[in-house]
Amino acid sequence: MTKKPNRIRKGLKIDGWLVIDKPYQMGSTKVVSKCKYLTKAQKVGHGGTLDPLATGVLPIAFGEATKTIPFIMDARKTYQFTICWGEERTTDDLEGEVCATSDHRPSEQEIVEQIQNFMGVIKQRPPKFSAIKIEGKRAYDMARSGESFEVKEREVEIYSYQLLQYSKDHASFEVECSKGTYVRSLGRDIARKLGTCGYISALRRTKVGSFDLKQTISLVKLEELVHSAPLEEWILNVMTVLGDILALAVTQEQADFLKNGSFIPKKDVPPSSQIGVTYKAMLGDKLIALCVLDENHLKPVRVFDL
């Protein structure tokens, strides 16, 4: 049997993270495409979708950093958003059509008191206009085609929920939440609990894990950089999102084993290492692999070419 030749990737080998301040009315996938086009990178992905009408922190993974995307997807996220009272919309944001109205406007005190009911682990029903799959179809595709369906409730966790500004027709908030939380659903649901209607009129993500707005650059700035300055100065280390993963020092021989997908016997790792824990296998300051220790071996689950 003829052996297939190794596929050669086109583009530059860039490894690490870049934090983009996603512009208004641009989808996350389009931001990824723009970053790939500007940098000519071999491989690019993102760490958590933002709605087209949302702005803010969108972590972009290059090369080997794409292997660490699950860790940023699981991270806590912080949003600032504004609820407009008096209308409910099909998309739960300003893009949708008005589907209900109310003349009631909640007081500042009522809002502050109601926020407490949204703290901790709560159940929420994601918007019908979302990327959730139902029987293999995207919910937003089904909604746009007029299909009748229900989106199942899911559990999410709200760590903090603050009222930032109040006026009669609008209120602005900041929320820190777990993965899977839909801010549009939070806005819709708190409005209903307050005896009115509401939708998200502005949404900005200010933090994803360790990434925040201070680290972001715009796509316009990125375009300037690729023509005038070393991009490496803006690329964050692949390990930036692995701060909570314990490091495990390995020898050159062990590193070679792991890079080839081989296991290291448990007797050859420090006795303090815990079974079932994920470790960063490190050769000095170089990331070799993410590994899991079982009863007999240290097994690589993600190997890095850095």
Residue 248 identity: L
End-to-end C-alpha distance for the chain, whole angstroms? 32
Query: In whole angstroms, what is the distance from residue 144 CA to residue 131 CA?
Result: 12
For residue 5, the model assigns a pLDDT of: 52
Overall average pLDDT of the 11-34 stretch: 94
150-192 confidence digits (pLDDT tens): 888 899 999 999 999 999 999 999 999 999 999 999 999 999 9
Query: In whole angstroms, what is the distance from residue 123 CA to residue 246 CA?
Result: 32
What amino acid positions are annotated as catalytic residues? Answer: 51
Instruction: Sort 23 into a burial class: Cβ within 10 Å, 0-12 / 13-18 / 19+.
Output: middle
Helix or strand holding residue 200 (H, E) = strand 198-208
For residue 2, the model assigns a pLDDT of: 47
Cβ atoms within 10 Å, residue 135: 6
Residue identified by tokens 């491989």 is: 43
SS3 content of the chain, % helix, strand, coil (to 5): 25, 35, 35
Domains defined along the chain, listed by start: 16-75+211-240 (3.30.2350.10), 77-208 (3.30.2350.10), 245-303 (2.30.130.10)
Whether residue 8 has pLDDT greater than 70: no
- SS3 string, 130-188, reads CCCEECCEEHHHHHHCCCCCCCCCEEEEEEEEEEEEECCCEEEEEEEECCCCCHHHHHH
Query: In whole angstroms, what is the distance from residue 51 CA to residue 60 CA?
Result: 15
Average pLDDT, the chain: 91
Whether residue 129 has pLDDT greater than 80: no
For residue 7, the model assigns a pLDDT of: 58
Helix or strand holding residue 211 (H, E) = strand 211-212
Overall average pLDDT of the 5-34 stretch: 87
Whether residue 132 has pLDDT greater than 80: no
219-253 confidence digits (pLDDT tens): 999 999 888 877 777 899 999 999 889 999 999 99
Q: Is the pTM of this model over 0.75?
A: yes
For residue 226, the model assigns a pLDDT of: 86
Q: Which residues of 287-299 are buried (b: 16+ CB within 10 A; e: fewer)?
A: bbbbbebeeebbe
Query: In whole angstroms, what is the distance from residue 42 CA to residue 26 CA?
Result: 22
